[in-house]
Amino acid sequence: MVRVRERAIDGAANEACVRALADALGLATAQVALVRGHRARVKTFAVGVLDDAQIRERLGAIAAETGYVRRSHSRPPS
């Protein structure tokens, strides 16, 4: 989950999400793109330089540092 303070006006919140995700993954913002959910709460991002395992590893490390506990989702884990 990514939370930002920017309001969803003129794409400001979407841009903040891209910046936050890029920062969390140690990437430039140009390497992260919002591909689905521009006007929705659930969004899909493309990260072109990392594979799925690298993304999970980096985000998992952040979750462990912050004490984030994953809640169950309606879809099964992949």
Residues 23-64 have pLDDT tens digits of: 989 999 999 999 999 999 899 999 988 999 999 998 888 888
The answer to whether residue 42 sits within a structural domain is: yes
- Is the pLDDT reported for residue 70 higher than 90? no
pTM of the shown model: 0.75
Each as own residue / partner, the long-range contacts of residues 15-20 (CB below 8 Å, 24 or more positions apart, any chain) are 17/43, 17/45, 18/45
Residue 54 covered by a domain: yes
**Domain of residue 56, residue span:** 12-66
Residue 16 lies in a domain: yes
Is residue 6 assigned to a domain?
Answer: no
- What is the token pair recorded at 41? 């709460």
Look at the chain and report how many structural domains it folds into: 1
Sign of the dihedral through C-alpha 35, 39, 40, 41: positive
